[in-house]
Amino acid sequence: MDIQHPQPLNLAARLRGAKVDERVAALLTAAIAEDLGVGLLRDQDSAAAQRLTALLAVAARQTAISAVNRFALEVLALLDEAPDLREQLAQLAWRRPG
């Protein structure tokens, strides 16, 4: 009979708790801002560049939350295909303080 271990905290919640979504949002914002030429726009109209950057940041935050959730689901699905690795992670969770 398999021994059932308590599930660790929800992976998506753990990733958000580690601020992974914020880091992803910052990367998205910077990459898209560069691609759209926010730096060039700033030279012509700094207010417009600030508005565009703020708009990109909102979109990136919303996208990052979805991306982190999707990533967590994908990781859990792949771990279902690797029960030995999932068991090792469960054992580590038992030893983790807190």
pLDDT digits (tens, 9 = 90+) for 9-52: 588 999 999 999 999 999 999 999 999 999 999 999 999 999 99
Q: Encode pLDDT of 55-81 as tens digits.
A: 999 999 999 999 999 999 999 999 999
DSSP 4: P
Higher pLDDT, 83 or 3: 83
Q: Is 12 helix (H, G, I), strand (E, B) or coil?
A: helix
Residue 97, pLDDT score: 65
| Listed residue (52, 69, 63) closest to 16, CA to CA | 69
Q: What pLDDT is stored for residue 6 in this prediction? A: 45
Q: What are phi and psi of 3, to 5 degrees?
A: -85, 125
Q: Which of 55, 23, 18 is nearest to 36 (CA)?
A: 55
The tokens of 54 are what? 């703020």
Predicted confidence at residue 78, as pLDDT, reads 92
